[in-house]
Chains A and B, each alone.
Chain A
């Protein structure tokens, strides 16, 4: 698979995810409306919320991600290694220089976001800068720049915002159900129970769908980004050592949320992926596997 086919695949997937998000979201609101006796009103409400968050995620996804992770812009003077390594690797990759951000957190991690290489952001934690030497940092940044080059960042940022929207809305719905229960006990019997069942099913399904989308987009592309990152640095050992350090560090990154977890180079929650079942629902491929592949290059 070449970079160009990856780019078009990512663009198509982004479009499809937006489309299905709007579709599912609106129909979910339609069901919700049945419950409250105003299906079309709710349908349009859902349609506009999902449309706005899709379009918003395209233009402002990177800013939202940076906001939720509380990242600060990085300058050359203070973060000389981070800055120059990114500059150099952008030259080698033929990419414009991305904007650089730093999260003030001792847990080592990194991610890239933005909608295309011209509006890209690379962000690392101060913990990462502390424990990595220059060659290891080069490995990590090259991995992130590969995500930038093949438009993984577009898809990942949009999924982050959409999953975040889903989380907020389903939270809100559950709360309003909970509080609404006592007041209208009398007219509840008039409503068709099938819609309530459908509604509850949808409520259970949404987080599962959200997880599956995150899984679908993130696991294979970590391997791909590792490989194309190595093409830039020509030194697989650097990234392998960096991943080794990430593996041995067990500090979780508190500023990551479940909607942004898939953006990071390593799972920010630091759960030990031991059983196959846990692996199945993990947003990141097992780090040992990645190190093994890099070592065999």
Chain B
């Protein structure tokens, strides 16, 4: 009798601990996600300045500016994780062509304001990458727990579902292509 009661007690403690473990991980993922958002917003905020500075030296490269601005708008409006990742990758690509254009203007390259902006942009890019890494590491922990036995039973009972990773690889692979035309 007492043994049975004891076993039930242990089981309940175990269930509570497992459930709380899920909640802790989920909160950490939320936090990581807002960390990414902060960095993405910082990045988006830098763009108008960069575009203005480059415009001052290279007025005629309109297509590059529209592309960057478009990507920025997409990033600001992105709601889901998928959209954010896509918009961010698009912005990375557009910025690459912007800086490629800047290479052709020595005056622009020598501008300290431009150099500073470029450095800040690189820095936020790194920060996006690192906050993404933190997010993905936590999602990995969470998903492992959701799928592994016996914690998957609790995950099923309380509807904790595996979450998606914040991917960046695809665009990076694509942008390696060099066009000659």
Q: Residues of B contacting A232 with CB < 8 Å?
A: 133
Kindly state whether residue B126 has any CB partner on chain A within 8 Å: yes
Q: Contacts A91-B35, A94-B28: A84 and B123 contacting too (C-beta < 8 A)?
A: yes
- Specify which of B31, B123, B131 is in contact with A92 (CB 8 Å cutoff): B131
Kindly state whether residue B130 has any CB partner on chain A within 8 Å: yes
CB within 8 Å of B: which residues of A? 80, 84, 87-89, 91-94, 232, 234
* A288 shortest CB reach to chain B, Å: 30
Q: Residues of A contacting B39 with CB < 8 Å?
A: 91
Q: Contacts A94-B28, A94-B32: A88 and B126 contacting too (C-beta < 8 A)?
A: yes
- Specify which of A80, A92, A234 is in contact with B134 (CB 8 Å cutoff): A92
Instruction: Give chain B interface residues in 100-136, CB to chain A under 8 Å.
Output: 119, 123, 126-127, 129-131, 133-134
**Complex: how many Å from CA A234 to CA B134?**
12
Among the interface residues A87, A88, A89, A91, which one has the most CB atoms of the partner chain B within 10 A? Answer: A91
Q: Residues of A contacting B126 with CB < 8 Å?
A: 84, 88
Among the interface residues A87, A89, A92, which one has the most CB atoms of the partner chain B within 10 A? Answer: A92
Instruction: Give chain B interface residues in 8-45, CB to chain A under 8 Å.
Output: 28, 31-32, 35, 39
CB within 8 Å of A: which residues of B? 28, 31-32, 35, 39, 119, 123, 126-127, 129-131, 133-134, 138
Of all A-B residue pairs in the complex, the 9 with the closest CB atoms, nearest first, are A92-B130, A91-B130, A88-B130, A92-B133, A91-B131, A94-B134, A88-B126, A84-B123, A92-B134
* B88 shortest CB reach to chain A, Å: 15
Q: Residues of A contacting B32 with CB < 8 Å?
A: 94
How many residue pairs at the A-B interface have CB separations less than 8 Å? Answer: 28
Known contacts A88-B130, A92-B134, A94-B32, then 14 further A-B pairs from the complex at CB < 8 Å, ordered by chain A residue = A84-B126, A88-B126, A88-B127, A88-B129, A91-B35, A91-B130, A91-B131, A91-B134, A92-B130, A92-B133, A94-B28, A94-B134, A94-B138, A234-B133
Q: Are A93 and B127 in contact (CB under 8 A)?
A: no
Q: Residues of B contacting A84 with CB < 8 Å?
A: 123, 126
- Specify which of B28, B119, B127, B138 is in contact with A91 (CB 8 Å cutoff): B127
* A247 shortest CB reach to chain B, Å: 28
**Complex: how many Å from CA A102 to CA B92?**
34
**Complex: how many Å from CA A234 to CA B133?**
10
Q: Residues of B contacting A80 with CB < 8 Å?
A: 119
Q: Are B123 and A89 in contact (CB under 8 A)?
A: no
